[in-house]
Amino acid sequence: MNDQGTYICDACGEQIVIPLDVSAGARQDYIEDCPVCCHPNHIYVDLDEDGRADVRAHAAQ
Ligand SMILES: [Zn+2]
């Protein structure tokens, strides 16, 4: 079970490591400020049956 995921910040291009809450459901999306540049990103998390995460991020408005 993988409880961390990574995404690339849309604003600064840094790779950001995030904790995953596998109990929150297989599909999650939320807004999170980039810890590097503080730009808000809309995070999309897809968890498969093996607990692998596909994390994507887009710049939030
Ligand atoms: Zn950033």
User: How confident is the model over 31-55, as pLDDT tens digits?
Assistant: 999 999 999 999 999 998 887 889 9
What token pair was written down for 15? 């790779």
> Is 0.75 surpassed by the pTM of this model?
yes
pLDDT for residue 22 = 86
The span from the CA of 30 to the CA of 20, in Å, is 12
- Neighbouring residues of the ion ligand 1, judged by CB less than 5 Å: 9, 11-12, 34, 36-37, 39
Distance from the CA of 26 to the center of ligand 1, in angstroms? 25
pLDDT for residue 38 = 97
Residue 19's contacts (CB-CB under 8 Å, 6 or more residues apart) are: 3, 4
For the chain, the domains span 4-59
DSSP 10: T
